[in-house]
Amino acid sequence: MPNASPASPHSPLHFASLPLPASMQANLQQLGYLQMTPIQAASLPPALAGKDVIAQAQTGSGKTASFALALLTRLNPRWFAVQALVLCPTRELADQVTAHIRRLARSEENIKVVTLCGGVALRGQRASLEHGAHVVVGTPGRVMDHLARGYLSLQGLNTLVLDEADRMLDMGFFDDIATVAKQCPAQRQTLLFSATYPEGIEKLARQFMQAPLRVEVAAQAEQGQIEQRFFEVTRENRLATVGALLRHFRPVSTLAFCNTKQQCKAVVELLQAQGFHALALYGELEQRERDQVLAQFANRSCSVLVATDVASRGLDIEQLEAVINVDTTPDPEVHVHRIGRTGRAAAHGLAITLASLHDMGAVGRIEQYQNQPSVWYPLESLTAQSAAPLLPPMATLQLLGGRKEKIRPGDVLGALTSDEGGPAYTREQIGKIQVTEFCTFVAVQRAVAAQACAKLNAARVKGKSVKVRVL
Ligand code: AMP
C-alpha cells in the first residue's frame, strides 16, 4: 500500500525512527516504502525490541514486512543454521512471504530463504536445507515432515512467526503448530499475525508465547476505498448478471466468489461462452493447474478469476478493480475478507454483491457487521459500455523450463529484448515473468503474443532452445 507522500524523517511513521541498519533503510526506500503502515508502526518497535507480539492484521496491511524486518535484523548471515521459521496456511501465501522476505533481505549479505510446502518432492527441499538456510517459510504439515525425518533442525531458531494464524486454525493445524513450536528453543521470539481472534489464538498464545503484547489497528481502515453495490437477482438470472456487470463496468481484473465449486464451474463456462477470458480456482485443482491459473490472473492475462473462498486464501493480487460476490456468503466476516481484496494500493475498488430474496438474511448480517446499510442498484442500470469484447491487456507464454533448469527472469527478458530472431521487444511490452519449479510464465502484451512466442521458440534461453506456447 504505497503512501501518498513521504513522511518526514522525524515522523514516528518514518522507518528512520526504527533501529534498522542503514542498508535496510535504503532498500526500503528503493522499494517505495516511504512510511510505515499502521500495523507496522504498532508492531515493529516491540518486535524489534525482541518482544512476543500478537498483531491483528489482514492481508494488504503490510504485515509481512512487520515480521520480516524483525526476523531479518536478528539473523547472523555467517551462521548457517535456520534462525527463523514462518508458518503459513497455504503454499501460495508461503511463496509470497518468501518472495517478500527476499526483497527485504536483498540489501544484506547472502541470506538464504527456503520454502517448505507440500505438493513438491521432499528431496529438492532437503537439498536446499543441506545447502544452508537461514529462514524457512512453510506450511505446518510439510515442516513437520522435515523435522520428523531429521532434515530440518530448529535448534538455532530465534524467531518463530505464525502468519494468518486464524486460517491455520481453521484448517485444523493446531496440533501441527504445537508440534513444531515444541521443537523450537524456549528462548525465542514468537510473532503471531491473525485477521481475527478465534478462541484457538488465545490457546496458542498461552502455550507458546511469553507475555505477548497485543497490537491492533482500526480494522478495515481502507474500507473507504471500496464502493459496495448490491443487485437483487433471481435464481434464473444470477449467472447471466455476471456477464452484464463485466460489460457495464469493464474492470481489467475481477475476482468473482462462489460458495461452491459447481457454481464456479458454471460461471466460468457461461463467461467463456460469452467470450470472456475467465478461469476457475477451486480446491481440487492440481498444483500445476493452480499455478497456471494464478499466474495468468496475477499478470493480467485473465479478466475474471472465479473462486471459492477456501481456494482464494492467501491470494494476494495487487491490482484488482472489482470483486463480484456471485453468491452472497452467509458469513459476514467472509464477506469483508472478500471485498477487502479490491481497493488496495490507494486505488478505488468496486465490490458487487448479487443477492436473491433468499439471501436477505445474510445481507442483513453483513449490514450489521459492517455497520452500514447496503446500497441497491437496479439490474436495468447495467448497459454494455462498448461493443468491443472485454479482453485482458496481456497474454501468457508458458515456457517449458523453470527453476530446475536454472532459468531466471533475466534470461527470458534478455531473449525477448535482443535483436536476434525477430523484432526486439521493449520492457513495456513485457509484463510479469514468473519462474516456477518446472516452467516459466511470461506476460506479454496481447497484440504481440504470437510473435513473441515464435521469437522465444527460435531463441536460446540459458544456452538451450526452449518450448514455448501461448496459454
Ligand atoms: P502484506 O499485507 O504484507 O501482504 O503487504 C501488502 C503490500 O503492501 C505488499 O505489496 C507490500 O509490498 C506493500 N507494503 C508493505 N509495507 C509497505 C510500506 N510501508 N509502504 C508501502 N508499501 C508497503
| pLDDT number for residue 346 | 52
Out of 178-192, 377-391, 455-469, the most confident range is 178-192
Between 463 and 267, the more confident residue is 267
Q: How would you class 323 by CB atoms within 10 Å of its CB: exposed for 0-12, middle for 13-18, buried for 19 or more?
A: buried
DSSP 3-state helix, strand, coil percentages of the chain (rounded to 5)?
40, 20, 40
How many angstroms separate the most distant Cα atoms in the chain?
Answer: 66
Residue 470 pLDDT > 90: yes
Instruction: Report the atom number in ligand 1 closest to the C-alpha of 318.
Output: 10
Q: What is the pLDDT of residue 201?
A: 92
Considering only CA atoms, which residue is closest to atom 15 of ligand 1?
A: 62
pLDDT of residue 365: 93
| Residue 217 confidence (pLDDT) above 90 | no
Distance (Å) from CA 65 to ligand 1 centroid? 7
DSSP assignment string, 203-234: HHHHHH-SSPEEEE--TTTTGGGEEEEEEE--
Distance (Å) from CA 309 to ligand 1 centroid = 23
Return the closest-CA partner of residue 66 out of 90, 38, 88.
38
Q: Which of 17, 33, 88, 164 to mutate to test the pocket of ligand 1 (most atoms within 8 A of CB)?
A: 33
Give the single-character DSSP code of 103.
H
Closest C-alpha to ligand 1, atom 5: 62
Separation of 345 CA from ligand 1 center, angstroms?
Answer: 9
For 47, 84, 228, 356, 362, the CA distances from 367, given in Å and listed in that order, are: 36, 41, 11, 15, 9
Which one, of 43, 13, 46, 42, lies nearest residue 28 by Cα?
A: 13
Q: How confident is the model at residue 223 (pLDDT cuts 50, 70, 90)?
A: very low
Residues with CB under 6 A from ligand 1: 1-3, 32-33, 36-37, 40, 59-65, 316
Q: What atom of ligand 1 comes closest to residue 64's alpha carbon?
A: 3
Give me the domains of the chain, ranges plus CATH numbers: 15-216 (3.40.50.300), 226-381 (3.40.50.300), 394-470 (3.30.70.330)
pLDDT, tens digit, 9 for 90 and up, residues 55-107: 998 777 889 999 999 999 999 999 999 999 999 998 889 999 999 999 999 98
pLDDT at 95: 93
Cα→Cα distances 426→241, 452, 454, Å = 39, 11, 16
Residue type, 456: L
Q: How far apart are CA 441 and CA 299, in angstroms?
A: 9
Q: How confident is the model over 171-178, as a mean pLDDT?
A: 91
In the predicted structure, residue 317 carries a pLDDT above the cut 80 = no
pTM over 0.75: no
CA of 50: how far to CAs of 43, 69, 177, 204, 442, in Å? 11, 12, 21, 19, 41
Distance 185 CA to ligand 1 centre (A): 30
Please give the share of the chain, as a percent, with pLDDT higher than 70.
95
Residue 115 binned pLDDT confidence (cut-offs 50, 70, 90): very high
Taking alpha carbons only, the member of 253, 256, 251 closest to residue 281 is 256
- Cα–Cα distance measured from residue 272 to residue 246, given in angstroms and rounded to the nearest whole number: 12
CA nearest 96: which of 283, 293, 291? 291
Mean of pLDDT values over 246-250: 94
Cα 61 to ligand 1 centre (Å): 7
Q: pLDDT at residue 2 above 70?
A: no
pLDDT tens column, 257-271: 999 999 999 999 999
Predicted confidence at residue 3, as pLDDT, reads 34
Q: What's 426's DSSP letter?
A: P
Percent of all residues in the chain with a pLDDT value above 90, rounded to a whole number: 68
Taking each helix axis from N to C end, the angle separating 238-249 and 261-273, rounded to the nearest 10 degrees, works out to: 50
Q: Tell me: pLDDT of 342 over 90.
A: no
**For residue 345, what pLDDT band results from cuts at 50, 70 and 90?**
low
All cell numbers assigned to 228:
459496495
153 Cα to the center of ligand 1, angstroms:
31
**136 — pLDDT class (breaks 50, 70, 90):** very high
- What is the band of 218 on the pLDDT scale with cuts at 50, 70, 90? low
CA 276 to chain centre: 24
Task: Report long-range pairs for 63-66 (Cβ below 8 Å, ≥24 apart).
Answer: 63/39, 63/163, 63/193, 64/96, 64/97, 64/100, 64/101, 64/163, 65/33, 65/37, 65/40, 65/100, 65/104, 66/39, 66/40, 66/191, 66/193
Task: Name the average pLDDT for the chain.
Answer: 90
Of 263, 275, 209, residue with least CA distance to 238: 263
Helix (H) or strand (E) segment spanning residue 445: strand 439-445
